[in-house]
Chain A
């Protein structure tokens, strides 16, 4: 509460408008960051943007996050992480084998060549693919659990 006794609050439509503005700003900063060849700019902007979204969400008065919503989010998150860590570990094991230069089959004679590392650009693409996978998995699981816990039920009357 402010000293005057009134706290800042907003309706959910205002909140969605703020999210849209933040997304557009981030898109612009991303483009600017690419132009400047500076990743730090978009990284900081992304963290600040997400912090602003969380801050704004606490000020919304007409969004009720009840126990069923929490359960849907919880289940979707758990399932996403279960799939994601397996995929991530599988990729990481492959990367570790590259670093350690595990001999291939058929076994080659002892080699003195240095381990072959994935180029940074390739790592970027793989990270992007993993990020997209996580987003799609989360959205998919969220729809599944929302349906399971009655989100798309309608009144018969």
Chain B
């Protein structure tokens, strides 16, 4: 959908590329602050990027 690389997104929100990869792979649950940064970057609401299955919030495909 987006012509966007992990590196570009990581630079834009001030984290390492590996952190973006870890979130995608559901290895790391981002803080609320970082989750808001990611959703703001895509210009959508936070629940459109992340879903919570009551146990672990996971990132959805955007």
Residues of B at the A interface (CB closer than 8 Å) are 6, 10, 14-16, 18-19, 21-23, 25, 27-28, 30-31, 33-34
Contacts and interface: CB of A to CB of B under 8 A. Distances in A.
Contact of B28 (A68, A154, A155): A68
A4 B31 CA distance: 38
B30 A67 contact: yes
Contacts of A69: 16, 19
Contacts, number: 45
Q: Which secondary structure dominates where chain A touches chain B? A: loop
Contact of A150 (B10, B14, B28, B33): B28
Interface residues on A, range: 10 to 19
Contacts of A150: 18-19, 21-23, 25, 27-28
A153 B21 CA distance: 7
Contacts of A154: 21
A153 B22 contact: yes
A69 B31 CA distance: 13
A138 to B, nearest CB: 20
Contact of B16 (A68, A71, A148, A153): A68
A71 B30 CA distance: 11
B62 to A, nearest CB: 16
A74 interface: no
